[in-house]
Each structure stands twice: as C-alpha cells, then as structure tokens.
Structure 1
Amino acid sequence: MHFAPSPLTPKRLAAFTHDLVMTVVAIGLGYYIRFGADAFSYRANEIVTLIAIVLPFVCVIYWAFGLYAGIWRFASIPDLVNIVKAVTAVSVFMVVLDFVSRGAIIVPRTIVFTNWFILMALLGGPRFLYRVYRDRRLLNRTRRASHTAIPVLIAGSGNDAEIIIRSLETNGHDLMRPIGLLSTKQAHVGQRIRNVPVLGHTSDLERVVERLAQHGQIPRRLILTNEALVKERDIEQVISRARKVGLSVERLTHPGLDSVNGDGRLRLAPINIEDLLGRSTRELDYTMIRNLVAGQKVLVTGGGGTIGSELCRQIAGMSCERLMIVENSEFALYAITKDLKRDFPGIPVEGRLCDVRDRRKVADLVERFRPDLVFHAAALKHVPIVEQHVAEGILTNTVGTVNVADATRKVGAKAMVMISTDKAVQPSSVMGATKRAAETYCEALDALGFAASNRVNGDGGRETRFMSVRFGNVLGSSGSVVPLFKEQLEQGGPITVTHPDMKRYFMTIREAVSLVLMASALGLSSRDRISIFVLDMGEPVRIVDLAERMIRLAGFEPGTDIQIEFTGMRDGEKLNEELFDSGEPLKSTEVAGILAAEPRAIVPATFIEEIEVLRQAIETGDESGMLDRLSAIVPEYVPHKPHQLS
C-alpha cells in the first residue's frame, strides 16, 4: 500500500470524485444485472444502505492503494495493478460485511462477483481511454511537426529503446522523430517497438542509412542505448561508421527511466572515451561519504587540480561545514572557488594561495583553520618533468607531504588522506619514488598514533589518522594521454604512443574521487592499522588500443585516416604499472572497489630522521646526493632507462 499522503490538488479531487461516483454506479449496475429493473423498487433501501457503508471504506482504500499518486495521462500497468488491489479489497469487504452483519445486510454473492468486473471497467477504463486520447493528440501533433523534427536512429531494442521512443512521442520539446531501430540481436530484425521498425543489426548501419535515403528519410542522429554500449563488442566501429555517414552520435546519460527528466525530456550526452573502455562505473552508496564529511571543516591541498577540484565539488555537495582550498596556481584557485560559490552558495569556501613546500605558511594556515579532515592532493605528477627536476619533485611530493602531515598532526585533526599513485609501487621514476616516500611517512605517523593511542586508551583507538589512497590514471586529467590524443586528432594526427605494449590503469575522475572519500571513511571507522588503500582499477588498457578507439570515436580509421607513431619510452617510464607489491598483500574491504594493503614493518622514528637528512641534502643542491638519499629511503627505487623500440 501507498500510505504516503498525496497533496489534494483540484485534479486529484476530480479523480477522487469520479471514482466515488463510479463505485455507486457499479453497485447499482450489479443489482440491476442480478435483479433487473425491480431492484430499484424493491431493494432500494438495501442498495442505499450498502452504498452508505461501502463509500467511507473505499475513500480510505482508494487513497491507500495509490490510485491518485499516478497521472491519468501516463496511466500504465502499475496503475492497473493498484486498481486491481483496491477493487479486490472492496469485494472482500462486501463479503466480510455480509458475514459479520448476520443477515442485517445481505450482499448476494453474484453482486460481489459482477461488481468486481464492473468497478474494474469503470475505474480503469476512463484512465486508459484518457491515456489513449492524449497519446493520439500528441501523435497527431508530432506528425504535423514531422517535417521539422530531426529524424533519428536508435541503436538497441531493449527497455531503453522503448523509453526513448515513448519520450519522443509524448514530448514535443525534443523535436526528434524515431524512424528506425538497430538491434544487437539479429532475431529482432523485422519486428517493431511502439510501431518503430527494427531495420537491421548494428553492423548494418550503412546499408540501413542508404535504404532510408532512397525512401526520402535521411537520419541525422544515432542514439545509443546503454544496452548497445554494453552488449555491442565493436561499438567503436558502429560509432566510426555513424560518423562516416554523417550521423552525430549520442547516448543516454542514465539507464532506464532515469534517462528522462522530470519534464519528460531525454537526457542525452555525446559519446566519450569512458564509454568505450569496457568497464562500467560502480554504483556507490554515498551514505558513508556523507557521514564522513557532513558538518566537518575540510582542507584540500592542490584543490585547483583535476583530482583536487573534484574532491572539493564532492565534499561541498555533502554539506561540509567549511571548506578551505590551498593552491599555488592563482588561476586554478580563482576557477575552483568561483565554481563552488556558484554551485554551492550555502557552503563557506575559502581559497588560499600557498605552496605546500613552505612549511611555515602551511603550518600557519592549518593552525588558523583547524580542519577536521585534510585531503592532500598537491603534487607534481608528470614523470618526465620530475625526472629533469629532481629537487622540485622531492620538495613538492615528499617534503610538501611532510609539511602538511606535521601541521595536521599538530592541530589534532581526525585524519589526513594523501592522494597517491600506482607509480609509487616498485618505482622506476623520481616521481614514483617521491610519492612512495610520502606514503611511508604517512604510514610512519599513523603507526606512531596507533601506538600512542594504545598506550593511553588500551583499545586501539586513534589519534590523527594518516592514510594514503593509491590508484592509476584518471581519464581526462590535465596532461594525461586523453587530452593529448584529442589535441593531436584536432591537428589531423599523428597520434604519438611511446610503446606498442605499454599498458595503464584508467578510471573516471568522479569514480576515483568517490572511492577516495569512501576509503577515507573506511579508514576512520576501522580499528585495524591500515594506512594504504588501493582502488580496484579493473583491467589495464593498452595505450595503443585507447588511441585506436579515440580515432574511431572521431570518425576516422586508424592507420588509414590517422596514423599512430611510436616514439619510444621516456626516462622513468615502465611498460606496466602495479597497484601493490609483494611486501604489502591486499585484503578486501566491505566496499567493493576498495582494497586495503597490509601495513609494512616500519620504525617510525628512524624513517622520520631519514626524511630530515633528505631535506638537508636538498638544501645543498647536490642532485646526486638527493637521489642517493631518496634511494636509501625507498630501497625498491630502481631507475629505469628507456626501452628501445626494435
């Protein structure tokens, strides 16, 4: 039953009055069918009594079973089911009334039986007739406007296709007209969905377009259902063929009914490379994140970068008390604070220009703001650049993390979370080694806090938690291959790839940040000493495959229209990245997509001393000495020279 009250609008009141009148008519017709015209002469008092008792009951039942939650214009099977339940309840009530009244009120069984069918027809019939009437009007209006509506093809023949067609039929604002379907199943060819024909398999796109053109119908768009994106193995081929015959390609932004706005319009979006990587974004329960962030003061370093800005958006969206953004780029700070103040006017947002390498200023900002949570995303991340600027990489990635961690610990925040990278595992680059050193420093502080809390509390509770969340490449982040490939495509190629066998892990920005926040919530709620969380990135993707998919997505053919050139690996690069090493076995957590690394045996005091020695080596300006100290701190760091292409 639907006991949630529905507002009593004039239309609902009219529908309610209609149903009460139909109930009276149904009882009268039942008696007429059973007894003929004499029923109204000899059984008038019996009929009136029954109506007087039944009407108050149906007033409650009709509302309870949600007969007025739906809209007649969109009457459907669920509405019919509600009517069946309500009418059956009325019939049962009549039987019970006859039984408990012990002859005072006699309700013949035939009246109960016929009343069920009559009431079903009188309640359900007008609703569905009105639906048919409105659909006809909309269809006629659509036909009249068909000369201006954009003809579209739909790839897919499942529920999403039916929803698209129905939305286009009932909503004239979309100005699109479905003229045919392409199915992922050959058996569907020749069938119809809402009178729209399935013209061929998705592989028949060119032939279908040519045949339609011969009949004067030239499609201009191809809408991909989620079924087509998931089930069609060669979806990039379909997209490429669509672009070649002049079709723009769009997809539903959400599956099923979520793809339709409240006003009935379809939510469509252009196809992105994320749609072609063969991994679906996880559906996450954001309750944990909301419980972590809501009402908290949060500080984000590197808040103007790709990861940092998405962190800020999601944190603001979870109703934090205040948000401070620390950023060393004036424009990036301006852009993110402007966007947040526009999109989340109720959240106090502060932006501060600061370099995390400036220990005094970092300490002063953290002391003044006194955050509950700190997310450290500031870093130098480009492997070749950091290889050429060793001191800058160490100062930012390692010393900068030390500065933020020490300041966080001093004010007693609940937690600091460092954004790490798969390049920190068995590092072959300066960038990876500096991030590994930063991970280890956070792990050392977490171990100190764990030991201190055990001494004081004896229950494994924590002081400030220090955690690192490690993941691979993020699609579309600044300086990554996706923006580079897009730029090269716009220039007509060639696409440059360093090595044909190079593989990388990829994840969307939103999913990566959501999992970072969930991992943070897990770390705070867990009583185990887990300092490093690893995101499940799925299967690695060959970079050359990514390049070929992007070329096809642009409507070209790799090797024919756009060439791919292999330039050779650069200093510090590896063919395959890893998310964990043998010294830190992973275990699953309660959240799918998040793994926990077993803590390593670290002597915190010794490691902290080694970090201080590294800082002193930087002050001397001796790059060789810096690398020696970095190798001592991260013994698994083995510099890799480029692999030469044969």
Structure 2
Amino acid sequence: MSRIPLKFAIDLLLWASAAPIAFWLRLDNPWPQYSHMVLLYTALGFPLKALLIYGFGLHRQSWHKVGVRDLEALAKAIGLGVIVLAAVAFLSPPELRVPRSVPLIAGGIAFLLMGGARLLDRLLHERVRGAAPGEARRILVVGAGEAGTMIVREMLRHPEAKLLPVGFLDDEPSKRRQKFLGLPVLGSLDDLPQAVEATEADEVLIAIPSAPGRVVRRVVELARQAKLSYRIIPGVYEILSGRVSISQIREVDLEDLLRREPVRLDLAEIAGYLENRVVLVTGAGGSIGSEIVRQVARFRPQQVILLGRGENSLYQIERELERTWPELDYCTVIADVRQREKMERVFEIYQPQVVFHAAAHKHVPLMERNPDEAIFNNVGGTRNLVELSLKHGVDRFVNISTDKAVNPTSVMGASKRVAEYLVEGAARKAGPGQVFVSVRFGNVLGSRGSVIPLFREQIRMGGPVTVTHPEMTRYFMTIPEAAQLVLQAGGLGQNGAVYVLDMGEPVRILDLAHDLIRLSGLEPGVDIELVFTGTRPGEKLFEELLTAEEGTEASKHEKIYVARKTGLPESQLANLLERLFAAAKLGDEQQIRLALKSLIPTYVTTATPADGG
C-alpha cells in the first residue's frame, strides 16, 4: 500500500498544528480571549498548506532516505507559506489582525515538526534494517574529505550492508580532533596501527580518490602490518560523476598502487571540438578505443561511430553505452581499416568530423613473426584513414601511437613510427581548420596487451610468475588517464604535432609482479615462484618516449609535450612506402625489415627470417 496519502495527511496535520502552538508561545495563553483568531488563522492556512505540500512534492519524499535537498524543499515550501500568511495577517481588519511574529514562529515550528518526523522515520528505518550487534564489520576510513564523508554517509544510510564506520584518518592537520558525521578524526595515516587498536577495526577503507600511488601503497603496507583487510573506492579517473556509493568499494588493485596525481583537464577546450560533432573511433572495441568512446560520450557528441573488427568486443561496449549513456546516438560498424572501399563508404555515409584512430596490431612478438600483417594494418590502415580524412574534410584526426615507435627494435614499433610519418604528411596537406596529430604514450594498465592480465592468470594457477628480465622497466598509466589525455591532446590543435604524454617514472616489471602477488595475499618466492625467461624478440629492457634528435617543447598542458618533427619529405616517404608494401605483399620478412630500416634509420632489428622472429 502506498504511503503517499498517509505522508500527505501527517505533513498537513503537523503544519496546521504549528499555528496554535505559535499563538500559545507568542501570547502565553491565547485561550479563550483569542480563540476565535487562532481558529480562523488556522483554518485559513489549511488549504494554502495543502497546496504547498502538493506543489513542492513534500508527500512524495522518501522519509527513509531524507537528505539535505529534501529539507531544502521543505524549507522553501514553508518559507513561501510564511510570506503569504504574513501578508494576509497584515492586510486583515484590526480586530482580526494577528501578531506579526506569529507566521514566522509558526514557520519555524512547522519546519521542526515536519523535518523531525522525517529524521525520526529514517532513524527508525535504519535501526530496523541494521545488522545485529557484532555482525557489522568495523570500518576505519582513510580520508576525511568529500569522498570519505560521502561513503560514511552511505554506510549509515544502508546498515543492511553491515559496514559500521568507526573513525577517520587524515593527514590534513586542520582536520585533527574534529568530528565528521559524528565520527572522530583519530590522527594521520601513520597513526593507523594505534587507531586500529583503539577502534577494534576489522577493515581499512581508503577513501581518497585523488591520492597518488605512494599514499595507497603506504596505507596498504600499514594495514598488512596490522594484519587487517583493506579495500578502496575508485580513483578520480573512474568516478567521473563525483558520486561515491557502497557498490563502488572494491579490493585494492595494482592500478591503485601506481596511481598518479590527477590530471587537470581543460574541459572547455575538449568540448569545443567534440560537442555536437560526429566522432569516429577506430578499434572501438579495444582497451584504449572503448575508453575513448566512454570519455567522448561525456561531451555530448552528435553521433559516435564505433568501428572495429571484433564483433564481441563491440557488442560489449554497445551494451555498456545503452546502460550508462542511453541518450547517446551511436552506430556500430564492423569493418577493417585495411579495406579502402569499406572505409570510403563509412566516410561517405557518416561524414565524421573527428577521428580517433586506435585500431592497430600491438603485440610485439606476434608482429615479429607476422611482419606483413603489421605493415598492412598499422601502416596501410593509417594511410587509408588519413587520406580519406583529408578528402572528406575531417576537422581533427588523432592517431594513437606508442613509445615503442621511438628507436624501434620491433616491427610493431617501427610500423607505428611510419604511421606517425603518415599523419605528419597529412598535416602538411591539410586545409584550413584541419588538424592531424599523433599522441605517443607507453603501456596502459589492464589493456589486453599488458603483462598484468598474464601475471594475474599465473598467480591464479599457483605460479610460477614469469618475468623476462629482472631489470626490465616500462612506463605505465591507467586506461582512463591515457584516454583523457588523448582527448586533451586532440584539443590543443597544433597541426602535425606528435604529442608525448607525461608517463611519470618507469616501473620495474619485477616490482609489478611482487605487488600483484602480495595483493593476492601471498608472498613472492614463498607462495609463488618467480622465473626469469629472457627477453623476447623485439623487446627492449627499457622504453623511450623520445628519440635523441627529437627533444620536446612545452604545450599548453602540463602533462603533454610536443616532440620536434623528424618526418620524411613527401617524395621520399612515398617511394619508401611503395617498397615497404611491395615486400609485405610478397611476405618477404627480410625485405620488410630492410624497407623499415630505410624509413627509420634508428630502427634496430633483433630478428631474422631464419629464426621465425
């Protein structure tokens, strides 16, 4: 049965009763001298109050989950009622004129009565639904900021989740000895062991979305020493809406330990070239491509074209868009960027204004064994797209490149460097208002080609975890961070630029393996064996974001740099490309590598046709 009529009646009764209470407080004892005035004033206010309750939807508020906005609506309704009744009282004949303070006093009493009823209902509801004593897990929250207080408020609202917050820890000195939502700030992060002992906490919750990886790592280590479980709420790249809920609490992952300071984006600059535009994303089902789609959706594009070869991955991103961005106009195209005729039809039908080119073969050892496919896909596909973008007047073309394109030692890296040359060449031919750029960055955590999924699978199987070399290092960033910076780079608008993202400090792969094993509750070398297998064909011990001759120039964004151009003259590039594609069509691996060497003097091949890669 609906509680709406009952709540309407209770609100009306409480608000109406505020008038006689106000008279009694103002006149000490209004009976019987002013009884006629009290009754008349109360009766006249009855229909007005009923109308305001209905008009402001007060009877439709959920009293179980009443919040600040509900009380704001209540205050507005009562305030309007006070103004109207005060005007009526002022204009009444002298013999019926009520004391001027009565409407104001009645309004305050009504707010206390009606607001109190809501808060009492919420309190009773939470106690009824709450866990039995001793059942709830006692949660020590690290971070007394906006996210920390939001998650504590959610815990208090949902006692059935059996999570009982017992206090905060925060490094901000101004928050010491304060209380938030009735819970004390027990000290800094370093006080975690003492706070655990004082509160008898069962779990630590890290609630600082903007915290860098070193802070997360510090809390995790302290929690491990205290033999306490630990969880986290997502970082700022994941919480795009700024809202935090209990459902977002999850286990600490490797991405959290490597988390960097949040990037400040110029949202107006990004919106300037995406809003109300038709956006084509190639490789839209892949790790980077799908995240670019998610980020683009935030900027209200006219339409997004999801283009890729893998039907299953495209179907997954389709379902996600239907769930999270139901208002987004999108179209899915199953196609291969190598197919010139199909790409021509796509451009003719959809007329994209912005292109993000993320489709590419990225697996280094596989491309060493299949170099012709790297050329057809990474070079040929890019050539098709830049030529069609020039032909159809695309405003922005953003090519996703890689740090492996710098001084390449692999066919994959070399093919991506040639793709950069093609984009630079298109920039020289671009018409007014057209911008062609490449964005170069390192590995992204959680992508399909990353080593992290392999480590996780090996740990799940009980080991061993295989690392190629103890000193191998790589640059890493999270997929959302990479995609956001790609969008930002696209908005910088420097035609022909190769943008280089600030990847932070390189990370040893061996350290990543140790972290993943420990996050699984195991000890490296004790529970899980580590085995060194040796570097694979085309791999370097460390990656570079720039060649020695390039260097960088600052851009308008603190996390994005511009590599100085080192492309080839158009005639020389065209001749060398013809030689490269001729070798690829013959499947001649040696000639492919020689052609790449002619295009990229710094390319160093580590494989020969005889050894199969």
TM-score bracket for the superposition, by shorter chain length: 0.7 to 0.9
1:26–1:122: 8 Å Cα contact kept in structure 2?
Answer: no
Matched residue SS, 2:446: coil
Unaligned runs of 5+ in 1: 1-8, 454-459, 642-646
Match of 2:119 among 127, 131, 145: 131
Are residues 1:352 and 2:337 paired?
no
- The structure-2 alpha-carbon separation of the partners of 1:302 and 1:20, relative to structure 1 and needing over 3 Å to count, comes to closer
Matched residue SS, 1:586: strand
Provide the residue aligned with 1:226 in structure 2. Answer: 208
| Structure 1 residue 50 displacement after superposition | 8.8
- The structure-2 alpha-carbon separation of the partners of 1:559 and 1:324, relative to structure 1 and needing over 3 Å to count, comes to closer
Are residues 1:170 and 2:174 paired?
no
Matched residue SS, 2:516: helix
- The structure-2 alpha-carbon separation of the partners of 1:70 and 1:580, relative to structure 1 and needing over 3 Å to count, comes to farther
Distance in 1 (CA, whole Å) between partners of 2:240 and 2:436 is 38
Matched residue SS, 1:493: coil
Distance in 1 (CA, whole Å) between partners of 2:483 and 2:265 is 12
| Structure 1 residue 169 displacement after superposition | 3.9
Match of 2:220 among 213, 216, 236: 236
Matched residue SS, 1:259: coil
Match of 2:429 among 448, 454, 460: 448
Match of 2:305 among 292, 301, 323: 323
Match of 1:379 among 325, 337, 360: 360
1:445–1:604: 8 Å Cα contact kept in structure 2?
Answer: no
| Structure 1 residue 78 displacement after superposition | 7.3
Deviations 1:246-278 (A, max 9, x none): x47454675998223xxxx64323322111113
Provide the residue aligned with 1:588 in structure 2. Answer: 555
- The structure-2 alpha-carbon separation of the partners of 1:119 and 1:158, relative to structure 1 and needing over 3 Å to count, comes to same
What is the CA RMSD across the aligned residues, in angstroms?
5.1
Provide the residue aligned with 1:336 in structure 2. Answer: 314
| Structure 1 residue 383 displacement after superposition | 2.8
Deviations 1:607-644 (A, max 9, x none): 33332233334446554443333233223435579xxx
Provide the residue aligned with 1:32 in structure 2. Answer: 27
1:498–1:566: 8 Å Cα contact kept in structure 2?
Answer: yes
- The structure-2 alpha-carbon separation of the partners of 1:11 and 1:404, relative to structure 1 and needing over 3 Å to count, comes to farther
Number of residue pairs aligned between Structure 1 and Structure 2: 592
| Structure 1 residue 486 displacement after superposition | 0.8
Distance in 1 (CA, whole Å) between partners of 2:9 and 2:564 is 65
| Structure 1 residue 559 displacement after superposition | 4.1
- The structure-2 alpha-carbon separation of the partners of 1:370 and 1:117, relative to structure 1 and needing over 3 Å to count, comes to closer
| Structure 1 residue 190 displacement after superposition | 11
Deviations 1:59-95 (A, max 9, x none): 9999999989976555667777888899899999999
Provide the residue aligned with 2:611 in structure 1. Answer: none
1:574–1:640: 8 Å Cα contact kept in structure 2?
Answer: no
Distance in 1 (CA, whole Å) between partners of 2:169 and 2:398 is 47
Counterpart residue type for residue 111 of structure 2: L
Distance in 2 (CA, whole Å) between partners of 1:385 and 1:570 is 11
Matched residue SS, 1:534: strand
1:235–1:276: 8 Å Cα contact kept in structure 2?
Answer: no
| Structure 1 residue 550 displacement after superposition | 1.4
1:296–1:321: 8 Å Cα contact kept in structure 2?
Answer: yes
- The structure-2 alpha-carbon separation of the partners of 1:122 and 1:618, relative to structure 1 and needing over 3 Å to count, comes to closer
2:138–2:164: 8 Å Cα contact kept in structure 1?
Answer: yes
Percent sequence identity over matched residues?
32
For residues 87-236 of structure 1, the aligned pairs below 5 Å read 112=101, 119-128=107-116, 130-142=118-130, 145-146=132-133, 149-156=135-142, 158=144, 160=147, 162-174=149-161, 176-178=162-164, 180-181=166-167, 183=169, 219=202, 222-226=204-208, 231=215, 233-236=217-220
Counterpart residue type for residue 259 of structure 1: V
2:141–2:165: 8 Å Cα contact kept in structure 1?
Answer: no
Matched residue SS, 1:278: coil
Distance in 2 (CA, whole Å) between partners of 1:447 and 1:256 is 40
For residues 245-644 of structure 1, the aligned pairs below 5 Å read 247=229, 249=231, 251=233, 254=239, 258-260=243-245, 266-282=247-263, 292=273, 297-312=278-293, 321=303, 323-327=305-309, 332-337=310-315, 339-340=317-318, 343-344=321-322, 347=329, 349-354=331-336, 356-359=337-340, 362-363=343-344, 366=347, 371-449=352-430, 453=431, 460-462=432-434, 465-520=435-490, 522=491, 526=493, 528-581=494-547, 583=550, 585-589=552-556, 593-597=559-563, 599=565, 603-619=569-585, 622-638=588-604
Counterpart residue type for residue 302 of structure 1: G
- The structure-2 alpha-carbon separation of the partners of 1:198 and 1:107, relative to structure 1 and needing over 3 Å to count, comes to closer
2:446–2:453: 8 Å Cα contact kept in structure 1?
Answer: yes
Distance in 2 (CA, whole Å) between partners of 1:362 and 1:179 is 56
Shifted more, 62-71 versus 627-636: the winner is 62-71
Matched residue SS, 2:130: helix
| Structure 1 residue 557 displacement after superposition | 2.8
Matched residue SS, 1:417: strand
Distance in 2 (CA, whole Å) between partners of 1:429 and 1:597 is 21
Distance in 2 (CA, whole Å) between partners of 1:303 and 1:52 is 66
Deviations 1:297-351 (A, max 9, x none): 5544333432234345555775654625232xxxx32342365167438756344
Distance in 1 (CA, whole Å) between partners of 2:41 and 2:558 is 58
| Structure 1 residue 390 displacement after superposition | 3.7
Provide the residue aligned with 1:5 in structure 2. Answer: none
Deviations 1:4-53 (A, max 9, x none): xxxxx7578557745752563365235413x8658627xx77x8999999
| Structure 1 residue 421 displacement after superposition | 0.8
- The structure-2 alpha-carbon separation of the partners of 1:192 and 1:315, relative to structure 1 and needing over 3 Å to count, comes to closer
Distance in 1 (CA, whole Å) between partners of 2:105 and 2:558 is 50
Distance in 2 (CA, whole Å) between partners of 1:382 and 1:153 is 43
- The structure-2 alpha-carbon separation of the partners of 1:267 and 1:583, relative to structure 1 and needing over 3 Å to count, comes to closer
Deviations 1:564-622 (A, max 9, x none): 44444444434443334553533323x66444445557533443333223333444655
- The structure-2 alpha-carbon separation of the partners of 1:26 and 1:274, relative to structure 1 and needing over 3 Å to count, comes to same
Deviations 1:72-121 (A, max 9, x none): 555667777888899899999999999999x999887xx64x87566434
1:325–1:333: 8 Å Cα contact kept in structure 2?
Answer: no
Distance in 2 (CA, whole Å) between partners of 1:562 and 1:182 is 35
2:306–2:314: 8 Å Cα contact kept in structure 1?
Answer: no
2:216–2:257: 8 Å Cα contact kept in structure 1?
Answer: no
Counterpart residue type for residue 497 of structure 2: S
| Structure 1 residue 439 displacement after superposition | 0.5
Distance in 2 (CA, whole Å) between partners of 1:554 and 1:228 is 24
1:155–1:202: 8 Å Cα contact kept in structure 2?
Answer: no
Counterpart residue type for residue 411 of structure 2: V
Shifted more, 68-77 versus 598-607: the winner is 68-77
- The structure-2 alpha-carbon separation of the partners of 1:461 and 1:84, relative to structure 1 and needing over 3 Å to count, comes to closer
Counterpart residue type for residue 406 of structure 1: E
